């Protein structure tokens, strides 16, 4: 069994995007730069989305300008459409390793709420973005949200998740992160969902993205490891709780994932002491 697991740190983006209070660019850059020294290879730093929809991410161009890039680290940003792609290009960091992430939903309800369009329309919007990224040799990662449950449509049938992964990979065979957006998945349901998705994409091109709302994220990661996945998204300090529920858990905490993987004898190449310091910094930001 391959024992190397790749961790995608999403705290600066997924963790902070819901924070209602203003967090300065200085503090975000300090967090990203500390994370860069931990051995992480992938750090998602922000989003080029509408500032009306997600005000906290409106400074992503400034972050990209200010981070002190670490060799070997890839800095990722979310890009929902060509407007976001243009903003990414304008930020002009072709001197460092960057990646864009495109995102769709496995459920129509969340697609409408998050992207203001249907799943099919979201795929159509992404086509030119992926084509442009390919021309510029920028790597692309895909996200599929609501892989177990949707806040609007209820439980998501595994076949719907497989359909969404297929639609995305029909555009281009990009790696896909599977988002348990609601954090309500159980290991049994995650396993059933993965069984369907593995008909569309190999385990090596899939990642698990678990929110820890119900405290089952680590169990869901173990179930995903059993199914062959070796990449997971997490947020340092468990950033990402609901702004209206103080103390509620957000994304699964990077430090907790590293603890689990250590116990299981798996390797990540990440320094847990640096992550512990970054987790403290992240918690102090809220």
The answer to whether residue 220 forms part of the interface with ligand HMG (CB under 6 A) is: no
Among 37, 50, 169, 271, binds ligand HMG (CB under 6 A): 50
Distances (CA, A) of 277 to 33, 44, 211: 12, 18, 22
DSSP 34: H
Residue 141, C-beta contacts closer than 8 angstroms, at least 6 positions apart: 76, 99, 100, 101, 102, 174, 175, 176, 177
Is 242 assigned a catalytic role? Answer: yes
Among 97, 114, 220, 254, binds ligand HMG (CB under 6 A): 114
Shortest Cβ distance from residue 1 to ligand HMG (Å)? 27
Distance CA 177, CA 194 (A): 12
Query: Which stretches of 198-253 are DSSP H helices?
Result: 217-226
Q: Is 237 helix (H, G, I), strand (E, B) or coil?
A: helix
How would you classify the pairing of strands 74-78 and 6-9?
unpaired
User: Which residue in 117, 146, 150, 242 is the catalytic one?
Assistant: 242
Shortest Cβ distance from residue 145 to ligand HMG (Å)? 3
DSSP 259: H
70 vs 180 by CB, closer to ligand HMG: 180
Q: Is 268 helix (H, G, I), strand (E, B) or coil?
A: coil
The answer to whether residue 212 forms part of the interface with Mg ion (CB under 5 A) is: no
Segment interacting with Mg ion (CB under 5 A) among 9-17, 50-58, 73-81, 164-172 = 9-17
Q: Which residue has the tokens 């495109």?
A: 102
Distance CA 225, CA 210 (A): 13
The answer to whether residue 83 forms part of the interface with ligand HMG (CB under 6 A) is: yes
The answer to whether residue 111 forms part of the interface with ligand HMG (CB under 6 A) is: no
Shortest Cβ distance from residue 131 to Mg ion (Å)? 25
Q: Is 103 helix (H, G, I), strand (E, B) or coil?
A: strand
Shortest Cβ distance from residue 183 to ligand HMG (Å)? 9
**Residues of this chain, 174-213, that bind ligand HMG according to CB under 6 A:** 179, 181, 209, 211
The answer to whether residue 14 forms part of the interface with Mg ion (CB under 5 A) is: yes
Q: Which residues are catalytic?
A: 242
- Chain residues binding Mg ion by CB under 5 A are 14
- Chain residues binding ligand HMG by CB under 6 A are 14, 17, 47-50, 53-54, 78, 80-81, 83-84, 87, 103, 114-116, 143, 145, 179, 181, 209, 211
């Amino acid at each position: 069994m391959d024992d190397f697991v790749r961790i995608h740190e999403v705290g600066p983006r997924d963790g902070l995007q819901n924070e209602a209070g203003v967090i300065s660019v200085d503090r975000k850059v300090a967090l990203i730069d500390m994370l860069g020294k931990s051995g992480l290879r992938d750090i998602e730093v922000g989003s080029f989305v509408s500032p009306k929809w997600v005000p906290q991410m409106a400074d992503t161009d400034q972050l990209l300008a200010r981070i002190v890039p670490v060799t070997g680290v890839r800095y990722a940003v979310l890009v929902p459409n060509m407007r976001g792609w243009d903003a990414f290009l304008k930020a002009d960091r072709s001197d460092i390793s960057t990646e864009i992430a495109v995102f769709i939903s496995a459920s129509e309800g969340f697609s409408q709420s998050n992207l203001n369009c249907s799943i099919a329309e979201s795929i159509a919007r992404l086509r030119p973005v992926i084509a442009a990224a390919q021309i510029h040799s920028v790597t692309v990662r895909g996200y599929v949200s609501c892989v177990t449950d949707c806040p609007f449509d209820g439980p998501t049938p595994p076949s719907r998740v497989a359909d969404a992964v297929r639609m995305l990979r029909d555009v281009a065979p990009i790696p896909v992160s599977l988002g348990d957006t609601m954090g309500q998945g159980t290991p049994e349901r995650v396993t059933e969902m993965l069984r369907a998705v593995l008909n569309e994409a190999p385990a090596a091109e899939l990642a698990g993205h678990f929110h820890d709302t119900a405290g089952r994220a680590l169990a869901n990661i173990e179930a995903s490891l059993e199914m062959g996945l070796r990449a997971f998204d997490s947020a340092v300090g468990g950033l990402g709780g609901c702004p209206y529920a103080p103390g509620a858990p957000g994304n699964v905490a990077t430090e907790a994932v590293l603890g689990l993987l250590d116990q299981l004898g798996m390797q990540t190449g990440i320094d847990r002491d640096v992550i512990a310091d970054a987790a403290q910094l992240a918690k102090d930001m809220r």
